[in-house]
């Protein structure tokens, strides 16, 4: 009989050559395969780990050891204390993006804004804002039809499909969104094209290049969205961007002609992360 502790040890052996926190990863994978939590595994470590489940655990451990992100293996990523479905058609939501959502949610928590989320991906920003701003109506836009389908599923699974709508469109080419919004938010592709090949393998080999590549200088989407802002945003409305750690000064320059009160905010690690301004 293979015990739960034996299965975790086996997974750990597969993982330890490539992951420094192999035991923790093995415990999480075993919990996922058994559909239990890690506390259950610790308490019941001498219980049997079924053979058919052990085969699955080995396969998933090999994929994780090869660099496949944990969220793509499980198909789930927690964001803003909500569970989002994710796959390789969308970026995995990052903790830094939670800071962007927190700021907007706090600024508008007692209001009823119409929000446009450009480059929505999994819908994490759009749907989280609908969840935390109770009277908000949110529209998410993405060029990927598969991302749009996934975002729609996330809105439905979180019970927010009535206040979240999604549209397939190319932010770089399409500017007809039928109405103007109180808030525009975007976490667009912002990695410089030449940098992508130097990214960690878990990113460059698995996450969609379409959602990473921000052009030669990483600023292509910021320029286009700002240039087209009159099509999206009401006068006096707010624009919020997530930005790269070295893009703060560039965003100030891009936004200052059309926006007042432009601010660059740092994340918890002390890096430039959010650009915001009021449309004038």
- pTM for this model (two decimals): 0.93
Considering Cα of 47, then 50, then 56, then 61, what sign does the dihedral take?
Answer: positive
pLDDT score of 201 = 85
Packed helices 248-255 and 220-227: angle between N→C axes, nearest 10 degrees: 20
Closest CA to 108 of 160, 182, 187, 188: 182
Residue 139, class by beta-carbon neighbours within 10 Å (0-12 exposed, 13-18 middle, 19+ buried)? buried
Distance CA 150, CA 158 (A): 12
Q: What percent of the chain is predicted at pLDDT more than 90?
A: 90
The whole-number average pLDDT for the span 220-227 is 96
Give first-to-last CA distance, the chain, whole Å.
Answer: 70
Residues in the chain: 280
Q: Residue range 115-142: average pLDDT?
A: 97
DSSP annotation of 228 reads T
pLDDT in tens, 46-82: 999 999 999 999 999 999 999 999 999 999 999 999 9
DSSP 196: G
For residue 173, pLDDT over 90 is answered with no
Rounded mean pLDDT, 106-110: 94
């Amino acid at each position: 009989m293979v015990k739960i502790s034996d299965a975790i040890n086996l997974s750990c052996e597969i993982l330890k050559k490539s992951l420094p926190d192999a035991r923790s990863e093995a415990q999480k994978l075993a919990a996922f395969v058994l559909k239990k939590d890690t506390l259950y595994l610790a308490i019941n470590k001498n219980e049997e780990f079924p053979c058919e489940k052990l085969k699955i655990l080995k396969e998933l451990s090999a994929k994780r050891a090869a660099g496949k992100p944990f969220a793509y293996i499980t198909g789930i990523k927690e964001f803003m204390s909500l569970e989002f479905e994710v796959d390789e058609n969308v970026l995995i939501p990052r903790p830094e993006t939670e800071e962007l959502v927190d700021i907007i949610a706090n600024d508008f928590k007692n209001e009823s804004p119409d929000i446009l989320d450009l480059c929505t991906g999994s819908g994490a920003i759009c749907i989280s804002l609908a969840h935390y701003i109770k009277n908000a109506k949110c529209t998410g836009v993405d060029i990927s039809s598969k991302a749009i389908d996934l975002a729609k599923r996330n809105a439905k699974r979180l019970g927010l499909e009535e206040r979240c709508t999604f549209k397939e469109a190319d932010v770089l080419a399409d500017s007809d969104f039928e109405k103007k919004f109180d808030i525009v938010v975007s976490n667009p592709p912002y990695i410089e094209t030449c940098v992508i090949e130097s990214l960690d393998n878990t990113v460059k080999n698995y996450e969609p290049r379409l959602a990473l590549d921000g052009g030669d200088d990483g600023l292509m989407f910021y320029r286009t969205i700002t240039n087209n802002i009159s099509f999206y945003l009401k006068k006096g409305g707010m624009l919020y961007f997530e930005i790269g750690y070295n893009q703060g000064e560039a965003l100030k320059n891009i936004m200052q002609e059309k926006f007042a009160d432009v601010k660059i905010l740092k994340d918890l690690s002390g890096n430039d992360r959010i650009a915001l301004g009021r449309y004038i």
